[in-house]
Structure 1
């Protein structure tokens, strides 16, 4: 029986519950793909699962809702050994073991083949981050060239990715941060304006066509007030760590003719996302990938602590102990 290293969580708690253990490599069935995981990004949803906020998760469990790597085996023939692939969501890290391991076994229906010479640490940051940014902008908000877009929570990894996508699409992008020292970062990633967010932007900016709300309910009411009649607000994140209002009166909170929607994304949006063109734009320098810190699989608890304490300054990417030299990319 082949064995692998994995971060196994045997119950909820702090970062210390993510223990590196030696466990069997999963055996793929027909319709599944065994992926040799090379890199994966960290996501706040994994933090919530680790803390015990994901109902129905059974332990022990290997977390991780996204991965990039190399196909080891696909019994159904959907992929060939050696194919470079990406996968996200579909129950990874919740209903079945995910990417915090040297190998992951996932349904073939949520795996995409791609070709790129980008470094693995860049590839590992792309799938979930750009799926969320792309889906929010072009599925939920139906962003059009020339529209004014406000990104609330613009210094998050998704916010930075969204700024680049929106700018390339021809939108005028206003992006926010709570720290004045980060406004230049917003501009660097594609925003036309970097704005320090005091929580009351509706009193200081001209109304916009669309709002991508990544902070959550702590600023959502103000984001609705920032939006012109006929405009749309999409809540797609909660870096403010609050999902719900203490009290919510829709007739008071939602201005006349302003529409409110949400975006959570999933496998279907990932499969629709123009992954190849996004990777090409990254390679050409048309899109920047906001990578914060990188870590090895053995440092997963440390990486979770960075995420929990908001010390990432971008997307955290974890590289496994797999041998990278034979795949023609640097870490």
Structure 2
């Protein structure tokens, strides 16, 4: 550990499930990296839906959907949230990771079930371990991705891990490829906008579902057509049919709810519906015959695998993706930042910057 690393740091600490009052910005000890870990000075950390849902305990439990719980169940308090982390490695827990010191990095926040390219995420920094809503964070050295060669800023890099990682996982699991017609729901949010950008970069023709007033940034991300979100799912389905008269090869869905049964009939034979969210409703009735008679695949997708994250990192280093930063707040104003995030008036990502970063 170098002399320049202080003993204490600023952190936003979640003390319990609840509203913004459950978050306390206070001074806490700087963590020390153990063997196989490094210490990262956080330069920027982005906000995600999972931060708000975890704070509220809104994930429920199997058999008890109203139970207060994090996305994997219990949460140990106090907890420093924040899975989107970009910064500089300042210390290593052992000599094997010394080569990372001084590097600009983005952190893969997933905690995997095993060490393999196709491993499944079973935890997340900021949920099952302390995350990046602080001046420093410790994480596994092998989860550091060197971004010295990337043209992206720290704030842009901080937008990548959760939103773009989740979107990459959806595209990979759904087999999205060039020449296909793909519908993306929730297209102005973090994951949705990332999916639009990444699918367009693969050469897909993207139809984006978004709210009125957000059409232009969604088009700028690569959407070839925009369908306005409507309270009546049948209206969305009708507009989708006009935008894609030959049907959809795939749907990348971060909303769920009644859009699924309304739009399922517009998916071509052999198509895929990939879902990674349920903000529009978690319980959905639909006709199973639309799946098996037409060989349509319904694919659940949570976060990403190490192989997915490696593909995303390559895109970031090459400059093939450039996240849209909607707003930046000092870490000490996390309550205001989360309030702005919850209003959903923005397009892109909201980023927190620790003091002195």
TM-score, structure 2 as length reference: 0.82
Q: Which moved more, 1:148-157 or 1:41-50?
A: 148-157
> Are the aligned partners of 2:316 and 2:322 in contact in 1 as well (CA < 8 Å)?
no
Report the CA distance shift for 1:95/1:182 in structure 2 as closer, same or farther (over 3 A). closer
1:154 counterpart residue number: 187
Report the CA distance shift for 1:270/1:97 in structure 2 as closer, same or farther (over 3 A). farther
1:263 has 2:295 as partner: no
Q: For 1:156 and 1:107, how far apart are their aligned partners in 2?
A: 29
2:199 counterpart residue number: 166
2:343 aligns with one of 309, 315, 326: 309
Q: Deviations over 1:18-64 (max 9, x none)?
A: 11111101111101111111101111011111002312101111111
Q: Deviations over 1:117-169 (max 9, x none)?
A: 432221221222211122211x1111121111111111212222222222221
Q: Deviations over 1:281-325 (max 9, x none)?
A: 25xxxx4422211111001111111122223332111111134xx
1:121 counterpart residue number: 155
Secondary structure of the residue aligned to 1:186 is helix
Report the CA distance shift for 1:255/1:33 in structure 2 as closer, same or farther (over 3 A). farther
1:320 counterpart residue number: 354
> Are the aligned partners of 2:214 and 2:347 in contact in 1 as well (CA < 8 Å)?
no
Q: For 1:74 and 1:220, how far apart are their aligned partners in 2?
A: 47
Q: How do 1:59-74 and structure 2 match up within 5 A? A: 59-74=77-92
Q: How do 1:266-305 and structure 2 match up within 5 A? A: 266=304, 268-269=306-307, 271-282=309-320, 287-305=321-339
TM-score, structure 1 as length reference: 0.88
> Are the aligned partners of 1:129 and 1:157 in contact in 2 as well (CA < 8 Å)?
yes
1:7 aligns with one of 12, 24, 28: 12
> Are the aligned partners of 2:13 and 2:79 in contact in 1 as well (CA < 8 Å)?
yes
RMSD value, Cα = 2.1
Q: How do 1:19-58 and structure 2 match up within 5 A? A: 19-53=24-58, 54=70, 55-58=73-76
2:104 counterpart residue number: 84
> Are the aligned partners of 1:6 and 1:62 in contact in 2 as well (CA < 8 Å)?
yes
Secondary structure of the residue aligned to 1:217 is coil
Structure 2 alignment gaps of length 5 or more = 1-5, 59-69, 112-123
